[in-house]
A and B are shown apart, each in its own frame.
Chain A
Amino acid sequence: MPELMQFLMSGVTVGAVYALVALGFTIIYNASDVVNFAQGEFVMLGGMMTVFGYAAGLPLPVAALVAILATAAIGVALNKLAIEPARGAPVVSLIIITIGASIFIRGVSQVVFGKQLHRFPAFSGDAPIPVLGATILPQSLWVIAGALAIFVGLWLFFTRTLTGRAVLATANNRMAAQLVGINTRYVMSLSFALSAAIGALAGVLVTPITLVSYDIGISLALKGFAAAMLGGMGNPKGALAGGLLLGLMEALTAGYISSQYKDAAAFVVILGVLFFMPQGLFGTKTTERV
């Protein structure tokens, strides 16, 4: 029983990390149909800039805030300099642009921040909290709380605010959105800013657990992407559920079957789910128009 609890604790911790990354994908995807492969780099930038801000003597919350704002600005820059000029290009070209952006950001970070691994202290210490015979670190609770908060925030944003609906409208039909007076350029910039900020916040929360180096973005983006697809791309509920599910499957496979094949188990389940639910767990069915 304590074993199972420990596996669940581990699964929820890792799952919350994936969910945070997956949530970052949703806004840009909702606004533009583009899966932003540089999302992992936003996470890295959030963690990395906080490390350097903190090392430079800023209090941790201030360093984190600066990192999040700076990353949001980089998100806007990415949109203005690379995505907007390519408007009208096929989606696959836009994806290659985001892959290029991911390599570019990694390349710049490697020069600016170096290749060392870093971490900063956990927010509420490192004393493990006992839970039914297992333990969880306080920082894991921060990550889980962060994932839940962002999920609720996004859900409210998309359903309760005019701007959120404008984002959805832009994705649905750009021309129609413009006709009803939505400033689609502003919506795009906003989406990139928000996605980048969510990514950076994720970086701030997970760095005490996962550590940060210039190249952690790739593997985080890969898992986050898989989690988002498992849940149904574009849906915050799907991102949260997909992330947690992925984390739990990995932990339970590592615990009960084989740690060598824990990533395999996760992908087998993804393949299985997509076989029966081609739009992911919470995706909506779309029909092709001729």
Chain B
Amino acid sequence: MRLSTKAVTLLVLSLVIAVAPLFFPSTFYYRVGSLIFINGLAVTGLVILIGYAGQISLGHAGFFGIGAYACALAPAHLGLHPVLAAVLGAVLSGVVAYVVGKPILRLKGYYLAVASLGFGVLVAMVLANEAWLTGGPDGIAVADPGLRALLRGFGVDLSNAQFWYGFCGLVLVLGAWLALNLYHSPTGRALRALHGSEVAARTVGVDVARYKLNAFVISAVYASVAGSLLALQNRLVTPDMAGFMHSIEMVTMTVLGGAASVPGAILGAAILTALPQVLTVFQEYEQLMLGLVMMLVMIFMRQGLLPSLARLLRGRGG
């Protein structure tokens, strides 16, 4: 029996997540792992938007922020359980993405980039300015979701970092599964068609505006869930989660790894999340090295790391 590429990707992803802890010298690595999974989830959403549909967004951190702040505010003001708050955040992000996406997705290229950037900046600004609600620039604490305690009730006692490693890993696999399914669905095909050429897609009867909006909404929900996971793990949310730099970072992860492929983007997330930890040995040269790595990867692997590596291996291996 031959496994589909989708099954192989998911299998390997799950395997890596499950086996990697065997090589962890300390529990700190669980923390890095969970951050990789959170970023991986956000960029999986961007693969749908950038890789499948060919649209750019420099404002997705805004949705990340909405998901994060939902987990801080909904439990405190609405009495919701933090996990339900994450769901609320995802729904809210979806609705906001629908409302914002409808007008701005008519724009193309850099104009779409600056419009989405404007949206992200507005979200970050509200979060920083409305201190009575959001705690201002220094952020606000998030209630303990109690998931770890729940697990302990079943006799599984994990450290904080271990728990979040497992939980975020699980959500990432789920997210990747959904994204890969979407790729092969009629929606996925329509998105790839309009990525190739909007005019051509329209000619063959694809409702371009609707599919673009779908991709925008789906990717916003991914970013929102990722934001919620980070909020619940860190127990603190700050406005820079929604900031311009974070949006840029997410797009960079996606493109660096390979915008058109889910495993590629997750690899990009893994590298850009782990890299600052590795680069600490360079101390003050850290930023310089980070910039250098980004440039070198894009110069020599212009399709992104994973697709380029794959081509290289295929070429050598015959």
What is the CB-to-nearest-CB distance from B311 to chain A, in angstroms, rounded to a whole number?
Answer: 14
Q: A-facing mask of B282-294, CB < 8 A → 1, else 0?
A: 0011111111111
Residue among B107, B111, B121 with most chain A CB within 10 A: B111
Q: Give bound CA distance, A290 to B202, whole Å.
A: 11
Given the interface pairs A97-B295, A107-B291, A270-B118, the reply to whether A261 lies near B129 with Cβ below 8 Å is: yes
Given contacts A100-B295, A107-B286, A111-B285, contact A92 B255 (CB under 8 A): yes
How far is B122's CA from A261's CA once the two chains are assembled, in angstroms?
Answer: 9
> How near does chain B come to A107, taking the closest CB pair, in angstroms?
3
Q: Within 8 Å CB of A90, what residues of B?
A: 302-303
Chain B count of residues within 8 A CB distance of the other chain: 48
Shortest C-beta distance, A88 to chain B (Å), equals 7
- A274-B245 contact given A226-B118, A264-B122, A288-B198, CB 8 Å threshold: no
Question: Are B125's CB and A274's CB within 8 A?
Answer: no
A270-285 vs B, Cβ < 8 Å mask (1 yes, 0 no): 1100110011100100
Q: Which A residue sits closest to B121, measured CB to CB?
A: A267
Does B152 interact with chain A (Cβ within 8 Å)?
Answer: no
In Å, the complex CA distance between A207 and B114 comes to 26
Judging by beta carbons under 8 Å apart, are A290 and B252 in contact? no
A92-B50, A233-B110, A278-B106 in contact; A99/B294 too (CB < 8 A)? yes
Contact B125 A103 (CB under 8 A): no
A85 within 8 A of B: yes
Contact, CB under 8 Å: A264 / B107: no
B209 in the interface (beta carbon within 8 A): no
Expressed in whole angstroms, the minimum distance between the Cβ of B127 and any Cβ of chain A is 12
Interface residues of B in 96-119 (CB under 8 A from A): 103-104, 106-108, 110-111, 114-115, 117-119
**In the complex, what's the smallest C-beta–C-beta distance from B305 to chain A, in angstroms?**
11
Known contacts A35-B110, A86-B299; A99 and B129 CB within 8 A of each other: no
Q: Mark A186-225, 1 if CB is under 8 A from B, else 0.
A: 0000000000000000000000000000000010001001
B298 in contact with A97 (CB, 8 Å)? yes
When the two chains form their complex, are residues B295 and A92 in contact, meaning their CB atoms are under 8 A apart? no
Report the bound CA distance from A279 to B112 in whole Å: 10
In the bound complex, CA of A103 to CA of B259 (Å): 21
Contact residues, B229-247 vs A (CB, 8 A): 244-245
Is B197 engaged at the interface, CB distance under 8 Å to the other chain? yes
Complex contact A260–B298 (CB within 8 A): no
B49 CB within 8 Å of chain A: no
**A218–B245 touching, CB < 8 Å:** yes
Find chain A residues with CB under 8 A from B158 CB.
none
Q: Are A86 and B291 in contact (CB under 8 A)?
A: no
Q: How far is the CA of A104 from the CA of B286 in the complex (A)?
A: 9
Pair A290/B197 contact, Cβ less than 8 Å: yes
A229 at the interface (CB under 8 A from B): yes
B302 CB contact (under 8 Å) in A93, A268, A271, A283: A93
Taking the closest CB of chain B, its distance from the CB of A288, in whole angstroms, is 5
Which residues of the other chain, B, contact A88 by a CB distance below 8 angstroms?
A: 302
B residues 172-207 touching A (CB-CB < 8 Å): 197-200
Indicate whether B73 reaches chain A with its CB closer than 8 angstroms: no
Q: Does B223 contact A (CB under 8 A)?
A: no
Residues of B within 8 A of A92 (CB): 50, 56, 255, 259
Docked Cα-Cα span, A270 to B289, in Å, equals 35
Flag whether A105 is at the interface (Cβ < 8 A).
yes
Interface bits A85-129 vs B (CB < 8 Å: 1, else 0): 110111011101101111111111011000000000000000000
Shortest distance between the CB of B260 and any CB in chain A (Å): 10
A90-B302, A96-B294 known; A278-B111 Cβ under 8 A? yes
By beta carbon, the residue of chain A nearest B249 is A99
Residues of B within 8 A of A99 (CB): 248, 252, 294
Cβ of B11 to closest chain A Cβ, rounded Å: 30
A268 to B256: give the CA distance in the assembly, Å.
Answer: 31
Asked whether A271 and B117 contact (CB < 8 A) given A86-B298, A108-B288, the answer is no
Q: How far is the CA of A288 from the CA of B252 in the complex (A)?
A: 26
Q: How far is the CA of A103 from the CA of B276 in the complex (A)?
A: 13
Chain B residue nearest to A260 (CB atoms) is B129
Chain B residues whose CB sits within 8 angstroms of the CB of A222 once the complex forms: 117, 244
Judge whether A137 is part of the interface by a CB distance below 8 angstroms. no
> Distance in Å from the Cβ of B105 to the closest Cβ of chain A?
11
* Contact A100 to B106, CB < 8 A, known contacts A263-B121, A274-B115: no
Please measure, in the bound complex, the distance between the C-alpha atom of A111 and the C-alpha atom of B282, giving whole angstroms: 12
Q: Which A residues touch B287, using CB under 8 A?
A: 103-104, 106-107, 110
Residue from the set B110, B293, B304 with the largest chain A CB neighbour count within 10 Å? B110
Which residues of B lie under 8 Å from residue A260 when comparing CB positions? 125, 129
A177 at the interface (CB under 8 A from B): no
Considering the complex, give the chain B residue whose CB is closest to the CB of A91.
B109
Known: A97-B295, A226-B118. 9 other contacts (CB 8 A): A86-B298, A96-B252, A100-B298, A104-B292, A263-B125, A267-B117, A267-B121, A274-B104, A275-B103
Residues of B participating in the A interface, judged by any CB pair closer than 8 Å: 50, 56, 103-104, 106-108, 110-111, 114-115, 117-119, 121-122, 125-126, 129, 197-200, 244-245, 248, 251-252, 255-256, 259, 284-295, 298-299, 302-304
- Cross-chain pairs A/B with CB under 8 angstroms, 25 sampled: A86-B302, A92-B56, A93-B255, A94-B298, A99-B294, A100-B290, A100-B291, A100-B293, A100-B298, A103-B287, A104-B287, A104-B291, A106-B291, A107-B287, A110-B288, A218-B245, A225-B117, A260-B125, A261-B125, A261-B129, A267-B121, A274-B115, A275-B103, A278-B108, A279-B111
